[in-house]
Amino acid sequence: MAREGVRIGQQLQDHQMISYNLNSLGLIAFRHNKLDSAIYFLNRSNDEAVHANDIAVMTVNNTTLAHIALMRNKVEDAILLFDQTLSDSRAIQLREIQKDCYEGLSQAWRAKGDYKKAYEYQTRFIQLRDSLLNWETTQKTLTLKATFEQERKEARIVQLQKEKEKADRDRMLTLVVSGIIMLLMLVVGILIFRNAQQRKKANRQLQEKNEEIETQNEELTQSREELARKGELVAEQNKALVQANDTKDKLFSIISHDLRGPIASLKSLLGLVAKGAVTPDEFLTMAPKLNQNVGSIHETLENLLQWSYAQMSGLKYTPIAFDVKPMLQNKCELFAEAAKAKHITLVNNANAAHRTFADENQIRLILRNLLNNAIKFTPDGGQITIETKATNGQIEIAISDTGIGIPPDRLADLFKPNARMSTVGTHGEKGTGLGLALSYEMAQRNNGSLWAKSDVGRGSIFVLSLPMAQN
What is the model's pLDDT at position 130?
83
Q: What is the full DSSP assignment across 32-92?
A: TT-HHHHHHHHHHHHHHHHHHT-HHHHHHHHHHHHHHHHHTT-HHHHHHHHHHHHHHHHHT
- Please tell me the predicted confidence (pLDDT) of residue 152: 65
User: In this predicted structure, what is the pLDDT of residue 260?
Assistant: 53
Separation of alpha carbons 41 and 3, rounded Å: 11
Q: Per-residue DSSP letters for 132-145?
A: HHHHHHHHHHHHHH
Please say whether the beta carbons of 375 and 431 come within 8 A.
no
In this prediction, residue 399 carries a pLDDT of 97
> What is residue 344's DSSP assignment?
P
> What confidence score (pLDDT) does residue 463 get?
97
User: In terms of Cα–Cα distance, which of 214, 200, 322, 300 is closest to 251?
Assistant: 300
- 15-31 and 55-71 helices, crossing angle to 10°: 20
Q: What is the structure's pLDDT at 291?
A: 60
β-strands 345-349, 383-391 pairing: parallel
Average pLDDT, 10 consecutive residues per value, the chain (471 residues): 81 87 90 91 90 88 90 90 89 88 91 89 88 60 51 73 83 81 80 82 81 80 74 67 52 48 63 71 66 58 57 70 95 90 94 95 92 92 96 96 90 70 56 73 93 93 95 68
Q: What is the pLDDT of residue 293?
A: 58
On the CB side of 454, how many CA atoms lie within 13 Å of its CA?
21
Question: Residue 94: what residue type?
Answer: L
In angstroms, how far is the first alpha carbon of the chain from the final one? 70
Exposed / middle / buried, residue 135 (Cβ in 10 Å: 0-12, 13-18, 19+): exposed
Angle at 325 (CA atoms; ends 445, 315), nearest 5 degrees: 25
Pair 457, 448: CB distance under 8 Å:
no
Phi, psi dihedrals of residue 201, rounded to the nearest 5°: -65, -45
Instruction: Name the 3-class secondary structure at 360.
Output: helix
Between vectors from CA 211 to CA 206 and to CA 217, what angle results, nearest 5°?
Answer: 125
In angstroms, the CA 297 to CA 264 distance is: 12
Contacts of 299 (CB under 8 A, 6+ apart): 372, 431, 435
pTM of the model: 0.42
Give buried/exposed letters for 371-386 (b at 16+ CB in 10 A, else e).
bbbbbbbbeeebbbbb
Q: What is the pLDDT of residue 330?
A: 93
How far is Cα 283 from Cα 302, in angstroms, rounded to an integer? Answer: 27
State whether residue 282 is helix, strand or coil: helix
Residues in the chain: 471
